[in-house]
Chains A and B, each alone.
Chain A
Amino acid sequence: MAGETLIRQMAAGDREAFGSFYDRYASLVYPLIVRIVRDRSDAADVLQDVFWEAWQSAASYDPSRGSPEAWMIMRARARAIDRVRALRRRGETFVAPMDEAVSAAPDVLGGDAAERAEDRGIIQGALGQLSVAQREVIELAYYAGLTQTEIAERLKQPLGTVKTRIRLGLERLREAVRRAP
């Protein structure tokens, strides 16, 4: 059954539809959440929040504004980033000064060697179409939740350069997805 139909049934209070919806989309969003928040128990909390929200806001889903996949991914990414930022803020307040906290943010390009090899293996998809510099800024924004200003500071690049890289990177990503079947 199409995701769209499931969401409509959820909006009508159909718990079975919710079960099917969960089975279909949990495995899509969970890896993204883990990637962003890292900690598995935090990720489980975020996963629950994301689906609880989906259940409650099913009635406001508008298929003309995006696919169910995009609807769920956006929500998952947003809640995961919220979690990371909250943790970072707590860290800033009680432990680390600001710049240390920023550099302590999940290092998407670093990670341990195994993880990096793993990433290299699978990013032969759309991200592989991007230059290293473009990939870097998009990952810092999308997975680490840094703003353009924070990215510029972190990379020690002018803000204008960061903006252009994000735009070109995203354009290339869109093209790659458009070309894909």
Chain B
Amino acid sequence: MRQTVGQVLGTVVLLCAAQCAAQSPKIRTLSEQEVVDLMVGGAIQGTRSSNTAQMVERAKALLAEGKQFKIISVEDLPADWITVTAAGGIGGGGAWDYVRDRIKKQNLPTVTNPTALGVKALEQHLGEKFNAAIRNEAAGATLNVFEVATALDLPVVDACVAGRAKPELEQTLTYIAGVNTTPAALVTRWGDVLFIDHAVDDYRYEDIGRAIAVASGGGVSSIRGLLTAEQIKRITIHGALSEAILFGKTVREAKADGKNPIDALLKVSGGHKVFEGIVATAEQNGNRGFTWWNVVLDGTGPYSGHKYRVFVKNENIVSWLDDKPDVMSPDLLYNLDTDTGQAHNSAGLGSYKVGARITMVARAAPAPAWRSPKGIEVIGPRHFGFDFDYVPLERVLETRPKFGD
């Protein structure tokens, strides 16, 4: 009898402890300044041009509505939590015109937050409850993940499954680690709801999502990548949101102090300035879901007389300094506004504005897995059809000419 009471008591204590732990994971609410810095820094991490001002405006509008931006660090994630990768729609360059024309004629209404709708639908479909959201990539997804999380009152994990933006869905650390991104949901702007119960691999998820985007006016929301706390800890880039806040703060404060924001950014990020110039040409070629650009910069300052070419598939993928391959993915290549240190602002996914003053900054791939054979297979230069091997940034820096800055 005594033993039984002891057991019961023990169980109660255990339950209470579990309960208390479940109720009080260390969730932190970001200040308005942190939210603004997060948007600026999330765009810098994007490896492509971004409309930072618009991201900030939309984030502020959410705050004005009383929404709270909550984050939880990877270390504080309760072991039984399920995190959903719910941000960043799939683009559909070369969308089918006849769909757009018909829907315009039909005057079909759009839904306000297709991603949040998809999260709820997927929860119901699977009979699960998701506890947190995680950013699938940098750039606009930094805002999107909070649009979803604030709508559903979820915290966002201070991490990222890519640490950059990337054109294709299989280009994630989760796929490299062998974690399938399905089950998943796709929701169109008009509220069509699909469940991808099973895709044989993430390439196929990419094909399917891209096809639906092309048939849905050029985009679709993607809700996928259900991750356990253990998987988040093992696979993702920890502290990715904190890094974004730091980047945003750094360029803001440097600018306010009359210092060079890019120099300040290089210092905190461990990045390398690889070029400075003016956009001479930017030629676009978009079809079947992506936007391709071929960009040429004319050097200025210490780079005068040199040319820098960038191959863009939604994001900066490979660059050439005077026709010699330079930085290549999975390493990071940022195109920043030389004056502000923020991501270059240009209309059109991955585009460059002709005449803009740009500084190109390179960083080593943000996780060792990106440089593994499978990482290079999914995002290295050969994946994009180039006939040369990936050369890590450190080696590129040893052999490229030195510029006096």
Interaction A to B:
no
A interface, CB within 8 angstroms of B: none
B interface, CB within 8 angstroms of A: none
